């Protein structure tokens, strides 16, 4: 399945192209603002991605940068128009924050994804029952249904699709042992982690308790990397979610810690052996309370 392009990705394509053309033309942002009688902040916002660019302004910029390739200009004009279309996740707007919406726009078109959460199984690895048990402390009724469906659709697009980013997950042993929804839900969840680990493009490691304090501990993050740069870091914390863009050093620091923790984590047969041990200690009954309060979106 080819993941449809999101408007946020099309906006990213345009802003990266415009920034590259400006640099090739030997101009800085104040030069552009002066030449087009714009405020300097307008150029900064366009290149930073905080605002879109109109087709009219796009043409003015391309003229200023002496971009004459007709096919390239038409391609960027189409991308500009596409950036104004509703995103794929628009049916779930009620459960998508502005920051998370930005993240979702990039997720399916990244080259690689690196996810870790110190408390829960990462969202892209969750079963439907686990996700529902986790999210029902935050949502009820139709909003709970939408939140769970959004998570399942993300999995359909990224994990089970034929194309998409390379998916790298670290799952904390604590997440596999914590009863979210009770032992039956957890038994299916741990089995699901084992199953997903065997799929193409997916790597799953478990960070064991024996590792103690490790570099990526306390960092509930997802990093998205792209071959053309401008990587994205999505962070979750007790006060909500925050998407960080245009801060490559933050992404690099997280990835450095992620790989350090991965070096001492369990993969393949060792990961599956621990998962089987955890399953073996789960009771056969259905006892077990619901998850505690959580703001986890990813």
What angle do the packed helices 183-197 and 268-280 form, to 10 degrees? 170
Distances (CA, A) of 112 to 7, 90, 169, 179, 233: 19, 24, 11, 30, 12
**What CATH code would you report for 7-82?**
1.10.260
Per-residue model confidence (pLDDT) at position 103: 86
Domain over 92-280 is classified CATH 3.40.50: no
Within 10 angstroms of residue 45's Cβ, the number of other Cβ atoms is: 15
Distances (CA, A) of 71 to 11, 40, 63, 67, 68: 18, 29, 14, 11, 9
pLDDT along the chain (298 residues), means of 10: 64 90 96 95 87 92 97 95 89 89 85 93 96 93 96 92 88 96 96 94 96 88 87 72 78 94 96 96 62 48
Q: Residue 248: exposed, middle, or buried by beta-carbon count in 10 A (0-12, 13-18, 19+)? A: middle
Per-residue model confidence (pLDDT) at position 3: 46
Place of tokens 């990961």: 271
Check if the beta carbon of residue 244 is closer than 8 Å to that of residue 275.
no
Vertex 296, ends 181 and 259: CA angle to 5°?
105
What are the strands of the beta sheet with 220-225, ordered from one edge? 202-207, 166-172, 112-117, 220-225, 232-237, 240-244
Vertex 13, ends 12 and 15: CA angle to 5°?
65
Nearest CA among 173, 253, 259 for reference residue 211: 173
Per-residue model confidence (pLDDT) at position 228: 76
pTM of the model: 0.80
In SS3 terms, the chain reads as: CCCCCCHHHHHHHHHHHHHHHHHHCCCCHHHHHHHHCCCHHHHHHHHHCCCCCCHHHHHHHHHHCCCCCHHHHHHHHHHHHHCCCCCCCHHHHHHCCHHHHHHHHHHCCCCEEEEEECCCCCHHHCCHHHHHHHHCCCCCHHHHHHHHHHHHHHHHHHCCCCCCCEEEEEEEHHHHHCCCCCHHHHHHHHHHHHHHHCCCCEEEEEECHHHCCCCCCCCEEEEEECCCCCCEEEEEECCEEEEECCCHHHHHHHHHHHHHHHHCCECHHHHHHHHHHHHHCCCCCCCCCCCCCCCCCC
7-82 matches 92-280 in fold:
no
Would you list the domain boundaries of the chain?
7-82, 92-280
Per-residue model confidence (pLDDT) at position 288: 42
CA 209 remoteness from chain centre: 26
Per-residue model confidence (pLDDT) at position 219: 82
């Amino acid at each position: 399945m080819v993941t449809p392009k999101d408007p946020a990705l099309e906006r990213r394509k345009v802003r990266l192209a415009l920034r590259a053309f400006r640099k090739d033309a030997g101009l800085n942002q104040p030069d552009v603002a002066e030449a087009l009688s714009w405020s300097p902040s307008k150029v900064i916002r366009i290149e930073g991605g905080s605002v879109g660019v109109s087709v009219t302004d796009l043409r003015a910029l391309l003229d200023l940068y002496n971009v004459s390739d007709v096919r390239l200009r038409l391609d960027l004009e189409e991308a500009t128009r596409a950036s104004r279309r509703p995103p794929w996740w628009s049916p779930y707007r009620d459960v998508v924050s502005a920051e998370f919406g930005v993240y979702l726009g990039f997720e399916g078109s990244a080259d690689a994804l690196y996810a870790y959460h110190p408390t829960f199984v990462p969202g892209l690895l969750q079963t439907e029952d686990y996700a529902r048990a986790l999210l029902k402390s935050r949502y009820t009724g139709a909003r709970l249904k939408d939140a769970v469906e959004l998570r399942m659709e993300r999995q359909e697009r990224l994990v089970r699709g034929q194309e998409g980013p390379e998916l790298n997950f670290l799952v904390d042993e604590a997440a596999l042992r914590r009863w979210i929804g009770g032992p039956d839900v957890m038994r299916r969840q741990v089995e699901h982690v084992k199953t997903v680990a065997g799929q193409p493009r997916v790597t799953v490691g478990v960070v064991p308790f024996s590792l103690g304090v490790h570099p990526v501990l306390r960092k509930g993050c997802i990093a998205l990397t792209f071959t053309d740069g401008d990587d994205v870091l999505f962070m979750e914390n007790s006060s909500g979610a925050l998407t960080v863009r245009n801060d490559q050093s933050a992404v690099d620091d997280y990835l450095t810690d992620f790989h350090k923790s991965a070096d001492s984590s369990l993969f393949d047969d060792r990961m599956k052996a621990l998962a089987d041990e955890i399953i073996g200690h789960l009771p056969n009954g259905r006892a077990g309370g619901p998850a505690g309060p959580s703001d986890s979106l990813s």
